[in-house]
Structure 1
Amino acid sequence: MDPPRGMDDLLPEDYALISRIIQNVRKLFRLYGYSEIETPPVEYYEVFAAKSGEEILQHMYVFTDRHNRKLALRPEMTAPVARLVAGKLSRRPLPLRLGYIADCYRLDEPQWGRRRRFYHGGFELFGSGDPIADAEILIIVNDFFRNVEISEYFFKIGHVGIHRALMNKAGINEEDQDQILSLIDRGRVDDAMGLAEKHARDQSPLRLFEELIMIKADEAGGLIEKILCMLEDYEEARSAANNLSEIVQLASSVIDSKQLIYHPGFSRGLGYYTGMIFEVYGSLADVALAGGGRYDKLVELFGGRPIPGVGAAIGITRVHQYLTDKLGISSESALPDVYVAPLSKNAWTHCLRISDKLRMHGVAAEVGVTSRSISDVIKTCEKRGIRFLIILGDKEVEHSQITLRDLVKREQAQYPVEGIEEVVRTIKGGT
């Protein structure tokens, strides 16, 4: 029997590579000062209903429990983290840096890069509205991709604040703005402009808005200057563009400016974004491997005090697929440092004690739990790539000894059990 469609079993070799990716995320938690948290995979539906966006809401797993409460499997993590900051973490000093590794669920049509269960690794920074916070998030994500053997990638950058400022000027309310931005995110620009024209009280800002979102993407630094000239008569929109310019300048102190590509028409499907937004793409697939942005009103939406926030989620499942399918990178499941083979029932107790002592010294020891000949054990170890083999037979039990064989050098030596430190040094020196 297979798992439900779009949800994958992870085999040892799959999880070995995913574990490496997760280790890279957790390394960045430590290097940048982010504290790891966990929230439940099941949330109240209302956590996502207000600002997750139409695209997310249409693809959520939603159900009612026996008490008639409407619940959902989390489709993303920023909203639950903001809920946590508004509640249990509301008294913590700011800025507050939080990280997570989480499985999320969306009822998408399964295809490459889209699974119904997927892992995210995220970074959320609360308490700063300054551009340096946005730049830190971009730099963290850049650091991640430098560490996972993806050398050719770029940042697709936009700013929701510019779009919203022009729609504010046109007299379009926030709820209608959310729908318009959602349509743009799905590539339905004509429908978006039709809806905007329907709800606008002033059409002139819309003409600039449409012109803006149709501009071809280019390196952020130069293109933002062009946009600033276009927005000369729109103070709020110009302020947002200046904010993006500052973020790009700061991020460019670490990230190659050629990797920061500004898309004036870029919008993300999540309705809670208020400022800079971004996604990261590899050169070999048109699917975002990471994304994020600024959400200054989200904590307040959950009843908390106004706390600005900015964050990013790395698509661990997508990165895994990209590494394996596009770059041909794989990872074997971890091998033991030594295989411990009891050759008779009399050696079982001796075997377990020796293995325990080895593990106490940090040596990964796998115990043979099936009756096999020594020649079969050697063949298996060589096939798996295990270099060291400990052989424990009746002689070793009688004399309280350890026989250690190096299958690479084809050498074998006996050690007293009391001299297990020498066995440990030999194994660690060769692995």
Structure 2
Amino acid sequence: MEKISIIGAGIVGMCTAVALQQRGVAVRIIDEREPGTGTSFGNAGLVSVDSCVPIALPGMIKNVPRWLTDPMGPLSVRPAYLPSALPWLIRWVKSGASEKNAFRLGHALRQLHQEAVDQYRKLLGPEHFDEIIKLTGQLYIWENSAKSRTDLLSEKIRKQNGVAVRELAGEEIFDMVPGLNRAVTRAEFYEKNGHVANPYLLVQRLFRIFSENGGEFIRQKVHGVSRQADSNTYRIITTCDDFSVKRLLVCSGAWSKKILKGLGVGIPFDTERGYHVSFDRGALDLKIPVLHKERAFGVTPMVDNIRVAGFVEIAGLEGLPDMKKEEVLIGNVKRLFPKIDIGMKKNFWLGFRPSTPDSLPILSQLDSLPNLYFGFGHGHTGITGAPMSAEILANMVMGTPNTIDVKPYDIKRF
């Protein structure tokens, strides 16, 4: 099969490139950044095979005013960007309006995530898998002992999808994670979940495999893509080149909407900006990721740092970082782990989650644009969703039937 070009060297693009190579396809990747230095660099690094609950749920809308007025809250919208974001936000609200839709989306997320570990093992091989993937489990915690409506619905969605959860209370919680603030009243342990040693390291290992398999990497910015109907090719204009390709896969995350604009492809797609603060590994003795569900942040022990990640900020790709988020994250982790040494802080980071209103990625193609494939929009679960997305996309390129129903990820659903 003729070489395929992929725009995007993040986790989805790299997983898909290796999956295609394993099927005997030659692959070229184009990205202005070093592989793994975009959104894939600074996320929480969670491998959540049991993640199957969409972000928007019935009843959640009543929390939005409180979140927006709380300077330490998990959600913020910049007023200047609100007119641009409003169509996406309206679709987001509608997506979470009914329980029936929540169960449908939950099943689609389950299908995408539950084989993530096995898919990573296949892509990385045993040596790199053992180095990168840490199957430690994850602990979800709450300070409020009462379960909310969304908590109860989330339980139903997980139960319907066969997700086993171990509920903890009292000393069970603190035996599992010593040093937690005693304000924590209940917790859930997800034994099958885990995390990566470092997200950047994961992408770099995949890039090494890609390069050793003869992959071509062009480090240039893509300024535009157009369709040349007379030759059935796609023209790609980069910083220094102008070339045509017959097969093209767009895995460019938050920048996918802009790249596809030249092809007349419109999608309800926006950016959920996220932040992290990292600390030296010695700042906190932590063995497993801990996710604070009420304040919507997580703490992950990585091979070279302790990473505190959180927030959903709706402000687009061009807005400056909100530097106040750093102090909020530090305050959150200090409250949760009073003994953390905040003097060992290393870095503050901003990234751009590529998000659809319904929490599902776009893994698809259009009849009007043959040999063009879409692979983006994973929102909060890119590390988990990437390997199965790569399997789906590689099968699409090869014309091989997929083992799961891929209709929920079709671009035509919007």
TM-score, normalised with respect to structure 2: 0.26
Mark the structure with the bigger radius of gyration.
1
TM-score, normalised with respect to structure 1: 0.25
Q: Relative to total residues, which structure has the larger strand share, 1 or 2? A: 2
